[in-house]
A and B are shown apart, each in its own frame.
Chain A
Amino acid sequence: MNLLIDCSKKFIYLGLFKDEVLIEKYIETDGKHSTYLISVINEFLLDNRVATKQLEGIYCGIGPGSFTGIRLAISVSKTMAYILQIPVYAVSSLALINCLKSNAIIIDDARSNKYYIRIKNQDSIILDDTIINKDELENYVQQYNYLVYSAIEEHKYSIEPSYLQEIAILTDVFKLTASYIKEL
């Protein structure tokens, strides 16, 4: 069983998957991800009768998104993987919005009239996570005639475990780090 943790958005997302079976949970915390993250992971595992010892891998949403949220997911993911001595995988939080083998332009609000963007087709990632302004976004939408999936309007993820595993990057547990994208 594998555990997926993402705290980059207004909800905490937790997923448990094995092969093509995925169990998901979205938790609204009213801006208090840090308070509840560990408790909700504990409940989620208990509810699904998964002992931590049964976990085979941790998948962590490393951003872009809320800086604090990203760090929560990373701190917890790497500590879990370190203690359980299991592999940890880094996953783009942007990719989770449409984590399927299909064509898509994925965007999220980066504030100050900027957008995080990721473009992919069925075979490959065309544009890896980056930050752009509104004009550039319009150009991309014209250039690629793909459906646009926006985290600004859609507050759910679409995840296919096989595709998730395809794009996730196996990472040295000590080196798991955030993808902030945005400069300070």
Chain B
Amino acid sequence: MEDVLILAIETSCDDTSIALVRNGKEVLANKISSQIAIHNQTGGVIPEIASRQHCDNILYVLEEVLKTSGTKLHQIDAVAVTAGPGLVGSLLVGIEVAKTISLLMSKPLIGVHHIKGHIYANYIENDFDFPIVSLVVSGGHTEIVLQTNHYEFKRLYSTSDDAIGECYDKVARILNLEYPGGPIIDRLAKSGQFIEDIKYTYTKNESFTYSGLKSAVINYVNTAKMKDQEVNAADVAFTFQEYAIFQLLDKLVDAINLYNPNQVFLCGGVAANSRLRELVSKQNVAVFYPQMQYCTDNAVMVAAYAYFQYLKNDFSDLNLNANPNLKM
């Protein structure tokens, strides 16, 4: 089979990322311009600011990718871009640049679903053995997806309110910790103890839910502050994380028992969570997760799934638009 070289663009949230990937696996270049320092000041992503940053940064990122890999645009076989879900203003910057490249270079355009990208971050280092159950957990997503082949995705569970990563960010914010909240809470939790006074009861239902847990933690911290009591951040982190991760595991175990997958993938930024990895590794199933740099948003994963779309001639026309609620 002939080689397929894909240039992929990912701007669904706050990172401007462009990558060049051969056959969905071989990474020729991968650049990310992160906005963490900017969004750290606000404790989260402000969509208009994120869009402005993408617009200012994207050409620098493209130039770096082409330069470091010694590639000319005419050498690519297709240009891929995240079409959704995500922040519409951010998605649009990547999409317009991708469409311009497609038009001027006469290359096929491939609109990629962001969640499929997260799952295919695993393809870089592993071959797929279906059926596969993927847990996609990040600042914007909390989902469990079942796949029986490369082209059929069934969403088993999603969140009815906040995404788990978003909840980590909000808890970090009330504890005056840095953005993003995930890594720092995970680290603090290692030395924390369970707080009985964080009143939260997990009720099992069809969806993930994180707003109740978030409120319980915020209430606990605010009440303590009001009473002038010291808040032990490590203990809060530990208690929050136990509840947050338990919910993931509960549904993941259900999915494993129901569908008996050959592989389980942990994907998205929260896949880096040490407690999640520890608990999932105890399950009697083959568990995989991407390298850290491919867990968080990146264009390599977009190129990885775009490769499979390319093989099926699943191309988009020049009227491709951002779809913040794109269905899988």
Contacts and interface: CB of A to CB of B under 8 A. Distances in A.
B49 interface: yes
Contact of A37 (B56, B96, B105): B96
A116 to B, nearest CB: 18
B59 A78 contact: yes
Contacts of B93: 71, 75
A35 B95 CA distance: 10
If over half of B's interface residues share one DSSP class (helix, strand or loop), that class is named, otherwise mixed; here it is helix
Contacts of A78: 59
A34 interface: yes
B49 A75 contact: no
B60 A42 contact: no
A8 to B, nearest CB: 14
A34 B59 contact: no
If over half of A's interface residues share one DSSP class (helix, strand or loop), that class is named, otherwise mixed; here it is helix
B55 A79 contact: no
Contact of B51 (A41, A68, A79, A84): A68
Contacts, number: 85
Contacts of B319: 35-36, 38-39
Contact of A79 (B56, B60, B100, B320): B100
Nearest to B91: A34
B96 A72 contact: yes
Given A72-B96, A79-B96, A79-B100, A177 B55 contact: yes
A84 B100 CA distance: 11
Contacts of B56: 177
A83 B105 contact: yes
B156 interface: no
Contacts of B322: 34
Interface in B35-63: 46, 48-49, 51-52, 55-56, 58-60, 62-63
B103 A82 contact: no
A52 B104 contact: yes
Given A34-B92, A35-B321, A68-B89, A75 B55 contact: yes
A75 to B, nearest CB: 4
Given A37-B96, A52-B104, A84-B104, A75 B318 contact: no
B100 to A, nearest CB: 4
Nearest to B52: A178
Contact of B49 (A38, A42, A52, A184): A184
Contacts of A180: 52
A146 interface: no
A38 B103 contact: yes
A27 B210 CA distance: 44
15 contacts: A34-B92, A34-B96, A38-B103, A42-B103, A67-B51, A68-B51, A71-B89, A74-B55, A75-B55, A75-B96, A75-B100, A78-B59, A79-B104, A83-B73, A177-B55
Given A35-B321, A75-B97, A184-B49, 12 more contacts: A34-B321, A34-B322, A42-B103, A52-B104, A67-B48, A67-B89, A68-B92, A76-B96, A79-B100, A80-B100, A83-B73, A174-B63
The 6 tightest CB contacts between A and B, nearest first, are A79-B100, A75-B96, A38-B99, A35-B321, A71-B55, A39-B318
